[in-house]
Structure 1
């Protein structure tokens, strides 16, 4: 998996209410612990249009394998701070030995990776990116490739938008619950090459010059990888399908299910409030801890613990209550 990328400005670090109001301990609670029901892994990825002459287009990834551990970790860690009631169900992997067309897709991806690398100092800049959609949309992508879907945003030009490996939530919001109440998200390999910043409201559908291969919403901390429409089936290779269940989904509802999003308390807003209660030296100490977190020197859990120790729960909790309301 890709190295962790910081996709938000440090001032936009979100402090969740329960990170301060819950009892402090050395480990986070298990992901998806809000549900005790074991959800069955769907078998429709391995039947019907996904089976041909006993060959499967999609294979289930077993628990404990490297792929399972790495993909689940990326998904779970990326969802933990945004949606507390998501149940991880399972992972399938796309097989590219299913047909001659699929084998050609892999060959094309390799050819383009080599071509992009030759123009970028030997580095094709391949990353993993998430893409959310309905079960039928994902089925079509796996079978036939990407196309322009009319219900998709084009705020940064005409292309396919992916979120970085550590930010699945941005793509999960585009997922739709199927008839079983399950939601699906693709993890794809992307040839980014040299990316250019695309301004909000842009209407372009290809790089602004031959120097660039892809777009991002922000060069230093992207939340969107943009693969332009002419290249969406040459610079993208779907690899994994992650299936999950959200308590915001409704079984049998065919309309788009949006993930519940709680109010967000940004770090810079919190610091403005804290300035009224703690000393400037303690404010500086918190800022140093924040910088250490953004440089991956400490974990988020360690940063939150430091914040609570320095500011004190007696100061933090009233601020949280004022912003989030009584729980």
Structure 2
């Protein structure tokens, strides 16, 4: 592409001191992808996958643009070639030289605009996407085609309220079940290639950190608006949540730091900063903190906090 277009979903229109840097980053990002025309067969196919992944909420989502990875840089071309080589290798390992044994599927990842540039230019190890939460071991977490909502709930909207998700091709090979709390960082044996939280109805694919660059190929970027994520259309949060009133997040983080590993506390602080910067909604912040800290610990802390507070405490986060 020649450069950014005004009001382009991958371009910035802010007026902060960082505007020139943001515009430069947008130009660089647009050099890595190609905007697809609505009549393009790839665009039509990706939109169908997007609608399928959202299910009933697809009618409340407006796709602004679909971009395709142009694989224009030397490193991008190398990663594309590496993906093909590893696909053949996994298929051969499985004994199925026809290619089915590689078990290549499409999967989604929610990403911020900054992460898009880092992923497409440098790879997944340079990004800070929410799926690096280590619940099921150390690796990259992706959502199956029918679990797109899980990916976009963790995406961050930009200044124009536009969110972005990556549609990636993933070499899964033979999957193994990975249980919550696992410290796994590679396949449990040579029999397996990647992991999932369930074999029957997976919500997460886990590509081990050693395979992030070779087994995951980002192909498309879908930019969209989803008002229901901001509560405009009555979107329902998960029903399993603490019933107690909330407490100021700085106080919560301070207490959590005494019970959680530093790496988890850093993740919570990142999400809190994103909320303060209005890049994510409050319900998303709450959801991430619950996932990272666990409801049992949170309820215990909140009950203790309520016992020490005066009756006129508002209970709102700050």
| TM-score, normalised by the number of residues in structure 1 | 0.61
Aligned pairs (5 A) from 1:235-254 = 235-247=215-227, 248-249=229-230, 253-254=277-278
The answer to whether the aligner puts 1:65 opposite 2:40 as a matched pair is yes
Contact 2:152 2:165 in 1 (8 A): yes
Retained in 1: the 8 A contact 2:115–2:129?
no
Q: 1:215 is paired with a residue of what secondary structure?
A: strand
Matched, 1:110 2:84: yes
Higher relative contact order (CA 8 A, sep 6+): 1
Q: Distance in 2 between matches of 1:121 and 1:257?
A: 47
Q: 2:140 aligns with which of 148, 151, 160?
A: 160
Quote the offset at 1:41 in angstroms: 4.3
Q: In the alignment, which residue of structure 2 is the partner of 1:256?
A: 280
> What is the DSSP-based 3-state SS (H/G/I as helix, E as strand, rest coil) of the residue aligned with 1:90?
strand
Matching of residue 195 in structure 1 with residue 163 in structure 2: no
Q: Distance in 2 between matches of 1:144 and 1:240?
A: 16
Partner residue in 1 for 2:124? 146
Superposed displacement of residue 56, structure 1: 2.7
CA distance, structure 2, for counterparts of residue 258 and residue 235 of structure 1: 34
Report whether the alignment pairs 1:221 with 2:201: yes
Q: Which runs of 5+ in 2 are unaligned?
A: 1-5, 13-22, 232-275, 285-318
| Cα distance, 1:165–1:207 mapped onto 2, change above 3 Å | same
Equivalent residues of 1:50, 1:57 under 8 A apart: no
Q: Structure 1 56/133 Cα, relative in aligned 2: closer, same or farther at 3 Å? A: closer
Does residue 60 of structure 2 align to residue 85 of structure 1?
yes
Where do 1:263-282 residues align within 5 Å?
none
The answer to whether 1:44 aligns with 2:11 is yes
Deviations 1:120-157 (A, max 9, x none): 12221100000002111122111100017385322111
Q: Which moved more, 1:99-108 or 1:143-152?
A: 143-152
Kindly provide the CA deviation profile for residues 234-263 of structure 1, in whole angstroms up to 9, marking residues without a partner as x. Answer: 10000000011121459x954324788xxx
Report the RMSD for the aligned CA atoms in angstroms.
2.8
Change (3 A) 1:121 1:203: same
What is the number of residues matched between the two proteins? 218
Question: Which one has the bigger helix percentage?
Answer: 2
Say yes or no: does 1:128 pair with 2:102.
no
Deviation of 1:57 after TM superposition, in Å, equals 1.3
* Kept in 2: contact 1:176–1:258 (CA 8 A): no
- Stretches of structure 1 that go unaligned for 5 or more consecutive residues are 1-38, 261-327
Q: Which residue of 2 aligns with 1:173?
A: 153
